[in-house]
């Protein structure tokens, strides 16, 4: 029976090939058709030769053995295209590609705004054809993303040498660090600056990592001070966000004497990495992983019952794992800007607060009552300060107050290096979102001054922002944060 199935596969591949190619060229809207066919054909041949050679495909072998270690995802010859839809029709044409398998929109299409789009090598030419036939302007930012990745992070010096340089911890701000280094730095601060720092474990991640919040306060015991919340790293691939949160933490603690004006009388809650599993996975396996690492639901990745042929349709099943934590908060969850497809990077989960990370953040913030006066979540990239609401173009009744403080923060930021930032709501500057943490912080937690700061840059490097920009990004962002703190704690 198996031989008969294999023969059918070979016959089908040979017969369908010319028809698939001609159909895809005639209707470039189905740009994934050719790539999917040849991926299917390649897997079929692998099965044929594997069967007659007495072995299963390597990926299948590993899956059957239950191996948990994954090979690093390669982005050799992956393209990043920058598209600028100049009309509503062009936006609609791009929106038709949002669910195309293999394509990853790094930001959804908006009229007269740039959209960066990641395409694998077997789709890149068809994507270009699609855009050219519709006269949608685009440029190729890179034709080999893997090569660009090599230039982002310098090699770490000897760990013992680093410990000596930093006098007991491995952190520096000349490179991006793994999560173990970040934890070591937090523990270091907790021990060496115990009069200011308290490490609070608010829960565990999907994979069991401790979710840590650092409380910085010069007040003894329980404090009634107004507080500022900062989190970073809600999306794994946005490395500059945790690095910036850690820089801010360093300024508040290690440079306390310089910055005591914003420490004395104010409590700070800083969560450098809100998504430690996704952050670590972006270092170890897939550099552009966005979501957390919760497992795919059974009806998606359990394909044993369908036989070996089903591998063709689930070859990219790892993409179907994880939830976008910034679509998982319980405020207008699932209404807009969130995918219900678990294989997409903006999948918001099966229900609000389905994920331990978002639930832990929510529970902790709610326990603080009305102490927290400002919620700031750090993301990348775009160079924007975003205000609620994200789920609608309507603005809250105190929008003018948020804009006033936001503009003061923007001015302070731009004075440091002249970096150009924009300010506004997500639907007007980026895209509509629902289930986001900043909307939840204002709408459910009652935190008046809620902001998302999209850090450097505007897309030249994107998620691959060089480590040489950590310090300037940190300095200008800290200037903005101090301004927010001064204004909101006066009310």
Question: Which tens digits make up the pLDDT trace of 360-394?
Answer: 999 999 999 999 999 999 999 999 999 999 999 99
Q: Identify each DSSP E strand in 329-473 by its residue range.
A: 372-380, 384-387, 422-425, 449-455
Last residue in a domain, options 150, 182, 197 = 150
* Per-residue pLDDT tens over the stretch 409-449: 999 999 999 999 999 999 999 889 999 999 999 999 999 99
Would you say 39 and 120 are in contact if contact means Cβ atoms under 8 Å apart? no
Q: Cβ distance 432 to 391 under 8 Å?
A: yes
For the chain, the straight-line distance linking the first and the last C-alpha, in angstroms and rounded, comes to 76
Most confident of 69-83, 188-202, 317-331: 188-202
Query: Is there a domain that residue 328 lies in?
Result: no
* 172 vs 373: which has the higher pLDDT: 373
pLDDT at 220: 81
Residue 287 counted as domain residue: no
- Whether 465 and 386 have beta carbons less than 8 Å apart is answered as no
Comparing CA positions, the residue from 345, 357, 282, 339 lying closest to residue 316 is 345
Domain boundary among 106, 123, 150: 150
The 10s digit of each residue's pLDDT in 199-241 is: 999 999 999 999 999 999 999 877 889 999 999 999 999 999 9
Report the catalytic residues.
454
Other C-beta atoms within 10 Å of 276: how many? 28
Q: Is residue 258 part of a domain?
A: yes
Read off the DSSP letter of residue 339.
B
Candidates 235, 243, 412, 254; CA nearest to 324 is 235
Domain span at residue 125 reads 75-150
In percent, how much of the chain has pLDDT > 90?
72
Q: Are residues 95 and 177 in the same domain?
A: no
Looking at the domain assignment, is residue 352 inside a domain? yes
Question: Which segment of 149-158, 296-305, 341-350 scores lowest on mean pLDDT?
Answer: 296-305
What is the band of 318 on the pLDDT scale with cuts at 50, 70, 90? low
Do 449 and 384 belong to one domain? Answer: yes
CATH of the domain at 121: 3.30.70.340
Mapping DSSP to helix (H, G, I), strand (E, B) and coil, where does residue 215 land?
strand
Shared-domain flag, residues 371 and 413:
yes
CATH code where residue 210 lies: 3.40.630.10
The reported pLDDT for the residue numbered 223 is 80
List the structure tokens of 273.
Answer: 């990495």
Tokens 């006098």 belong to residue: 167
Total of domains in the chain: 3
Q: How far is CA 130 from CA 28, 42, 136, 447, in A?
A: 5, 25, 9, 45
Please, are residues 83 and 109 in contact by the beta-carbon 8 Å criterion?
yes
Q: What is the DSSP letter of 120?
A: -
Cβ atoms of 434 and 335 within 8 Å: the answer is yes
Asked if residue 252 belongs to a domain, the reply is: yes
Per the CB < 8 A criterion, the answer to whether 85 and 117 are in contact is no
Which pLDDT score, from 0 to 100, does residue 430 have? 86
Residues 81 and 59 in one domain: no
Averaged pLDDT score across all residues of the chain = 86
pLDDT value at position 453?
99
Note whether 170 and 262 are same-domain residues. yes
Residues 103 and 209 in one domain: no
Same domain, 469 and 352: yes
Whether 211 and 353 share a structural domain: yes
* Spatial separation of the C-alpha atoms in residues 223 and 464, rounded to whole Å: 40
- Mean pLDDT over 296-319 rounds to 46
- Per-residue tokens: 471: 């310090």
Residue 83: C-alpha distances to residues 105, 291, 380 (Å): 10, 24, 19
Is the pLDDT higher at 272 or at 156?
272
Q: What share of the chain is helix, strand, coil (3-state, %, to 5)?
A: 45, 15, 40
Residue 452 has pLDDT above 80, yes or no: yes
Tokens read off for 209: 């990592």
Per-range mean pLDDT, top range of 95-99, 219-223, 271-275: 271-275
In a domain, 82, yes or no: yes
Tell me how far apart the alpha carbons of residues 440 and 438 are, in angstroms, rounded to a whole number: 5
The whole-number pLDDT of residue 54 equals: 46
Checking if the pLDDT of 306 tops 50, the result is no
Q: For position 319, what pLDDT does the model report?
A: 73
The whole-angstrom separation of Cα 110 and Cα 90 is: 9
Q: Is the same domain home to 163 and 247? A: yes
Do 234 and 370 lie in one domain? The reply is: yes
- Is position 451 within any domain? yes
The mean pLDDT value for 165-184 works out to 86
Q: For position 470, what pLDDT does the model report?
A: 98
Sign of CA dihedral 151, 346, 453, 137: positive
Say whether both 230 and 127 belong to one domain. Answer: no
Question: In the predicted model, what is the mean pLDDT of residues 91-103?
Answer: 92
Query: What is the reported pLDDT for 491?
Result: 76
Residue 56 in any domain: the answer is yes
pLDDT over 70 percentage in the chain: 79
Residues 6+ apart with CB under 8 A from 223: 217, 267
Same domain, 469 and 400: yes
* Beta carbons within 10 angstroms of residue 403's beta carbon: 17
Q: Which helix (H) or strand (E) holds 427?
A: helix 426-429
The pLDDT, as a whole number, for residue 99 is 83
Domain boundary residue among 150, 170, 196? Answer: 150
């Amino acid at each position: 029976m198996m031989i008969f199935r294999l023969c059918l596969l070979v016959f089908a591949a040979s017969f369908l090939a010319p028809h698939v190619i001609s159909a895809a060229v005639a209707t470039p809207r189905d740009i994934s058709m050719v790539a999917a066919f040849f991926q299917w054909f390649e897997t079929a041949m692998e099965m044929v030769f594997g069967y007659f050679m007495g072995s299963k495909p390597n990926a299948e072998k590993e899956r059957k053995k239950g191996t948990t270690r994954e090979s690093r995802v390669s982005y050799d010859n992956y393209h990043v295209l920058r598209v600028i839809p100049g009309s509503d029709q062009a936006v609609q044409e791009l929106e038709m590609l949002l669910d195309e398998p293999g394509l990853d929109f790094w930001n959804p299409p908006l009229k007269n705004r740039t959209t960066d789009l990641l395409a694998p090598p077997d789709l890149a030419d068809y994507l270009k054809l699609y855009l050219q036939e519709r006269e949608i302007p685009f440029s190729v930012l890179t034709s080999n993303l893997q090569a660009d990745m090599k230039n982002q992070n310098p090699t770490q010096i000897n760990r013992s040498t680093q410990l000596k340089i930093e006098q007991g911890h491995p952190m520096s701000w000349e490179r991006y660090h793994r999560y173990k280094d970040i934890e070591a730095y937090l523990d270091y601060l907790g021990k060496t600056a115990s009069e200011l720092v308290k490490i609070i474990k608010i829960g565990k991640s999907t994979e069991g990592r401790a979710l840590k919040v650092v409380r910085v306060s010069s007040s003894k015991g329980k404090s009634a001070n107004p507080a500022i919340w900062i989190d970073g790293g809600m999306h794994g691939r946005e490395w500059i966000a945790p690095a910036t949160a850690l820089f801010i933490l360093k300024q508040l603690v290690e440079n306390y004497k310089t910055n005591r004006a914003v420490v004395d009388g104010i409590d700070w809650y800083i969560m450098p990495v809100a998504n430690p599993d996704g952050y670590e996975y972006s270092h170890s396996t897939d550099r552009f992983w966005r979501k957390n690492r919760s497992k795919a639901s059974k009806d998606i990745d359990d394909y044993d019952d369908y036989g070996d042929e089903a591998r063709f349709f689930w070859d990219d099943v790892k993409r179907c794992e994880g939830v976008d934590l910034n679509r998982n908060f319980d405020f207008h969850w699932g209404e807009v800007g969130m995918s219900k497809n678990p294989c997409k990077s903006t999948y918001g989960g099966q229900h609000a607060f389905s994920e331990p990370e978002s639930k832990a953040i929510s529970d902790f913030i709610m326990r603080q009552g009305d102490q927290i006066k400002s919620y700031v979540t750090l993301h990348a990239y775009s160079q924007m300060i975003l205000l609620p609401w994200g789920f609608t173009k309507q603005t809250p009744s105190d929008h003018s107050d948020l804009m006033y403080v936001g503009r003061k923060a923007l001015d302070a930021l731009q004075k440091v290096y002249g970096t150009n930032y924009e300010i506004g709501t997500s639907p007007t500057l980026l895209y509509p979102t629902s289930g986001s943490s900043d909307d939840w912080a204002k709408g459910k937690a009652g935190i008046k001054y809620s902001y998302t700061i999209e850090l450097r840059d505007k897309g030249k490097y994107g998620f691959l922002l060089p480590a040489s920009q950590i310090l300037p990004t940190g300095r200008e962002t800290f200037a903005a944060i101090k301004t927010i703190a001064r204004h909101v704690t006066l009310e």
